[in-house]
Structure 1
Amino acid sequence: METYLNLMLIRFGLLAGGLVVLALAVFAVALTLKRRGRLDQARRYADPAARAALRMMAERLENGRRGGRR
């Protein structure tokens, strides 16, 4: 049992560390874009993709509530 708990703790640590690294990378990219004056341009490109992703997630949640395909 102790071995299993150790493996779960290592797994959690790796996931948390990966999320921290990902957040730092996103922050660094945003900071670089802001310093070069291209943050607004990046937002214009990313806005349609973000809206489409949110729309798709909303449709999946709605289908799940109706008992449709998951």
Structure 2
Amino acid sequence: MEQVLNLLLLRFGLLVGGLVVLTLLVFAVAVALRRRGRLGEVRRYAAPAARAVSRGLDARGAARGRGAPRSGGSLAGAALRAAARHLDDDGRGQRGRGAGR
């Protein structure tokens, strides 16, 4: 029993460690892009990709019978929709370039 618990704890630690490393890597890339002034360009490409992946996850969840698409879809799809909304904003809560009109 102790070996099983140790194995589960080790697996959990590796999973959390991997997520921390991935988060730090994404943050470092975002900082580097911002310093070079290319963050806006990457945002324009990333938003449609995030929306497409979100729709795909929702469709896959609906096909497996995990809820109707109108009820919000999967949790991962909802997270990617939120990321796409954030990427569509310019980081100041304004939509696109013509939001100040």
The bucket for the TM-score relative to the shorter chain is 0.7 to 0.9
Map of 2:33 onto structure 1: 33
State the shift of 1:62 in Å.
1.9
Map of 2:64 onto structure 1: 64
* Identity across matched positions, percent: 62
Q: Residues 46-65 of structure 1 correspond to what in structure 2 (within 5 A)?
A: 46-65=46-65
State the shift of 1:64 in Å.
2.5
Cα distance in structure 2, aligned partners of 1:35 and 1:27 = 12
Q: What do you get for the CA RMSD once the two structures are aligned? A: 1.7
Aligned length: 67
If asked which structure has higher relative contact order (CA below 8 Å, sep 6+), I would say 2
Cα distance in structure 1, aligned partners of 2:6 and 2:56 = 37
User: Could you say what secondary structure the match of 1:57 adopts?
Assistant: helix
User: What 5-or-longer segments of structure 2 have no aligned partner?
Assistant: 67-101
User: What 5-or-longer segments of structure 1 have no aligned partner?
Assistant: none
Matched, 1:3 2:10: no
State the shift of 1:61 in Å.
2.0
Map of 1:20 onto structure 2: 20
Structure 1: which 4+ aligned runs deviate by more than 6 Å?
none
